[in-house]
C-alpha cells in the first residue's frame, strides 16, 4: 500500500466516508439475499454480457508457446502481472492497465504452474510427473519412478523481463497449489505450504497413499538456492473425511490461504474445511474443521474477509469440468459457503451462515465452478471478485454473512454452442484498481468496475499480490 505520514487518520477518514457512501448506495439496493442481476438469456458463442458497472477495457489473446495450452493462476508485482500457463508463465506489463503488453514468456512445461512471488523470487508449482526438473522436460510416462520429478521451481525476477531459473525442490505428489508465508519477526526465511493430493485410490510414483499431509519448503531469502523441504506434517493423524457418494474423501489439501499477521490459515482440504494455527510456521496445527456432506463435493479454496472474522470456502463440483450452473444443479450445490469464525484462540469454531452462487443459467456446453477470489479493498465492507470459469466473473458482497448479494458480473459466451468445451476465467483478481482475468482458452481480460459502492477501493495500492497470502488492506 502507498504509505504517508498521517496514515491512521487517512484510513479512518476513508472508513467513515466509505460507510456513508455504501450505506447510501444500499438504501436503494434490492432487499433479497441473492437477487439476479438481469440474468436474461445466456450470451451466444464469444458474445459478452455484463452489468453496466463492469466493463472489459482490454484483451490480450494467448500467443506463442502458450496459444494452445491452459492458462492458470496469477501473481502480481509492481507494474507486472505474472500469469501461469501449463507451458510456463507469461509476464505482462500492466503499467497502463487499459493497454497491457506481453513483456516476456518463460517456456517451462508442467501443470498447473501456480505462481507466488516474494521480493525478487517467483515460485512455480508443478503438479504433473516430468522427466526432469529443468524447463526442457516432457511428461513422464515410461520413466522409472526415481527419475520422475514434480514440485517447486524458483526463479529470480530481479529483472522481470528476463527471469532466471535458480533452483528446484521435489515434493511428494508435486505442487497442485502453494501458499507463500513470510517468516515471523526476525525469521530470515519465507515458507511455502505445498498442497497436493491423490484421488486415484492407488499408490502412484511420487505419491503414495495415504497422502494426508503438506510439504513445507523453507526458502532463505538471502540464499534461495538453499531452499529445501523442512517438514511434511500429517494434517489429519486421527483420520479425515472418508468420503461418500458425490463427496470426495480427504487425502490432502487442494488449497490453503494464509493470514500470516494473524497466524491463521484456512484449508480447503477436499472433504474438510479447516482453520489452522500457523504460529509455528513449520508445524501448522488444526484449530477446527467443518464438513458439508449435503452440498459440498470438493472443498477447493478459501478466502478470509479483511478482519479475518469470516471465511468463504468454494466447492469444485464436477472438478471444474462440468456444466453446474443450471436449475438442475440448483443454488446450493457448487456454491460458495460463508462461515463466521466464532470464539477465541483454541476455542474458535466455524459457523455456517449462507451459500452464494452466481444467479445465472449457463448453457449445457459450459463448465462452471467457483474458483479462487480476492477482496476488493472497500473499508467496512466484505466484497470480493471471483472467477467462475465459463460462468464468468462475479463481484459480490458478503458483509452480511447470512445475506450475500451480487453487485456486478461479466461473462463471455460459450466456446461452442453444440459441444462441451472446457474454458473460461481460471482466476480473476483485483489489483490496484482493475480486475485481471486469466482465461483458460482465450487469454487475458482486464475489467474496470465503476460503482459507488466500490469506488474507494481505487485509492488503495499494493506492490505485491498473492491471492493465497492475505493481509489487512487498511494497514501499511
Q: What is the average pLDDT across 50-73?
A: 97
Residue 74 scores a pLDDT above 60: yes
Q: What's residue 1's pLDDT?
A: 40
Residue 112 scores a pLDDT above 90: yes
Q: What is the pLDDT of residues 1-59, one digit of tens each?
A: 433 334 444 445 555 555 544 554 443 443 333 444 556 689 999 999 999 999 999 99
Q: Distance between CA 349 and CA 351 in Å, rounded?
A: 6
Q: What's residue 388's pLDDT?
A: 98
Put the strands of the sheet holding 336-342 in their side by side order: 299-304, 310-315, 336-342, 349-356
Q: What's residue 2's pLDDT?
A: 36
Q: Which domains does the chain have, with CATH numbers?
A: 7-465 (2.130.10.10)
Query: What is the reported pTM?
Result: 0.93
Q: What is the pLDDT of residues 185-199, one digit of tens each?
A: 999 999 999 999 988
Query: Pairing mode, if any, of strands 255-259 and 264-269?
Result: antiparallel
Residue 373 scores a pLDDT above 50: yes
Residue 473 scores a pLDDT above 50: yes
Instruction: Grade residue 458 by pLDDT with cuts at 50, 70 and 90.
Output: very high
Q: What is the average pLDDT across 136-163?
A: 90
Q: What is the 3-state secondary structure (H, E, C) of the chain?
A: CCCCCCHHHHHHHHHHHHHHHHHHHHHCCCCCCCCCCCCCCCCCCCCEEECCCEEEEEEEECCHHHCCCCEEEEEEECCEEEEEECCEEEEEECCCCCCCEEEEEEECCCCEEEEEEECCEEEEEECCCECCCCCCCCECCCCCHHHCECEEEEEECCCCCCCEEEEEEECCCCCCEEEEEECCCCCCEEEEEEECECCCCCCECCECCCCCECEEEEEECCCHHHCEEEECCECCCCCCCCCECCECCCCECCEEEEEHHHCEEEEEEECEEEEEECCCCCCCEEEEEECCCCCCCCEEEEEECCCCCEEEEEECHHHHCCCCCCCCCCCCCCCEEEEEEECCHHHCEEEEEEEECCCCCCCCCCCCCCCCEEECCCCCCCEEEEECECCCEEEEECCCCCCCEEEEEEEECCCCCCCCCCCCEEEEEEECCEEEEEECCCEEEEEEECCCCCHHHHHCCCCEECCCECCCCCCC
Instruction: Grade residue 201 by pLDDT with cuts at 50, 70 and 90.
Output: confident
Q: What's residue 24's pLDDT?
A: 47
26 burial level (CB within 10 Å; 0-12, 13-18, 19+):
middle
* Percentage of residues in the chain having pLDDT higher than 90: 85
Amino acid at each position: 500500500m502507498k504509505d504517508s505520514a498521517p496514515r491512521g487518520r487517512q484510513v479512518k477518514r476513508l472508513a467513515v466516508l466509505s460507510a456513508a457512501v455504501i450505506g447510501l448506495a444500499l438504501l436503494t439496493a434490492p432487499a433479497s439475499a441473492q437477487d439476479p442481476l438481469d440474468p436474461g438469456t445466456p450470451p451466444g458463442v464469444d458474445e459478452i454480457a455484463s452489468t453496466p458497472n463492469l466493463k472489459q477495457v482490454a484483451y490480450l489473446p494467448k500467443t506463442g508457446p502458450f496459444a494452445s495450452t491452459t492458462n492458470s493462476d496469477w501473481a502480481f508485482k509492481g507494474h507486472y502481472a505474472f500469469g501461469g500457463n501449463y507451458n510456463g508463465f507469461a509476464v505482462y506489463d500492466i503499467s497502463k492497465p487499459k493497454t497491457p503488453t506481453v513483456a516476456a514468456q518463460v517456456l517451462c512445461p508442467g501443470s498447473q504452474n501456480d505462481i507466488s512471488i516474494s521480493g525478487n523470487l517467483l515460485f512455480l508449482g508443478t503438479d504433473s510427473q516430468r522427466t526432469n526438473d529443468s524447463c526442457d522436460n516432457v511428461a513422464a510416462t515410461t520413466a522409472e519412478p526415481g527419475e520422475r520429478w514434480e514440485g517447486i521451481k524458483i526463479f529470480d525476477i530481479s529483472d522481470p523481463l528476463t527471469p532466471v531459473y535458480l533452483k528446484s525442490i521435489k515434493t511428494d505428489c508435486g505442487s497442485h497449489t502453494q501458499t507463500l508465508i513470510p517468516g515471523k519477526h526476525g525469521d530470515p526465511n519465507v515458507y511455502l505450504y505445498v498442497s497436493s493430493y491423490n484421488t486415484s485410490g492407488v499408490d502412484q510414483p511420487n505419491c503414495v497413499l495415504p497422502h494426508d499431509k503438506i510439504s513445507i519448503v523453507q526458502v532463505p531469502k538471502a540464499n534461495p538456492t538453499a531452499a529445501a523441504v523442512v517438514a511434511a506434517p500429517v494434517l489429519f493423524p486421527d483420520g479425515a473425511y472418508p468420503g461418500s457418494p458425490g463427496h470426495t474423501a480427504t487425502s490432502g489439501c487442494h488449497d490453503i490461504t494464509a493470514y500470516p499477521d494473524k497466524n491463521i490459515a484456512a484449508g480447503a482440504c477436499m472433504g474438510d474445511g479447516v482453520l489452522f494455527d500457523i504460529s509455528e510456521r513449520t508445524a501448522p496445527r488444526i484449530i477446527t474443521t467443518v464438513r458439508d456432506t449435503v452440498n459440498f463435493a470438493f472443498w477447493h479454496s478459501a478466502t478470509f474477509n479483511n478482519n479475518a472474522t469470516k471465511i468463504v470456502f468454494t466447492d469444485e463440483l464436477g472438478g471444474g469440468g462440468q456444466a453446474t450452473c443450471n436449475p438442475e444443479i440448483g443454488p446450493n450445490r457448487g456454491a460458495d459457503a460463508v462461515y463466521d469464525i466464532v470464539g477465541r484462540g483454541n476455542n474458535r469454531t466455524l459457523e455456517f451462515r449462507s451459500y452464494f452462487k452466481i444467479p445465472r443459467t449457463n448453457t449445457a456446453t459450459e463448465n462452471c465452478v467457483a474458483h479462487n477470489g480476492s477482496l476488493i479493498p472497500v473499508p467496512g465492507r466484505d466484497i470480493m471478485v471471483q472467477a467462475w470459469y465459463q460462468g464468468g466473473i462475479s463481484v459480490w458482497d458478503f458483509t452480511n454473512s447470512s445475506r450475500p448479494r451480487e453487485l456486478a458480473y461479466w461473462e463471455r459466451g460459450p466456446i461452442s454452442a453444440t459441444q462441451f468445451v472446457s474454458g473460461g476465467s481460471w482466476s480473476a483478481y483485483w489489483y490496484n484498481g482493475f480486475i485481471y482475468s486469466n482465461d483458460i482458452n482465450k487469454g487475458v481480460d482486464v475489467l474496470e468496475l465503476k460503482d459507488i459502492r466500490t469506488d474507494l477501493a481505487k485509492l488503495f495500492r499494493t506492490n505485491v499480490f498473492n491471492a493465497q497470502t492475505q493481509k489487512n488492506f487498511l494497514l501499511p
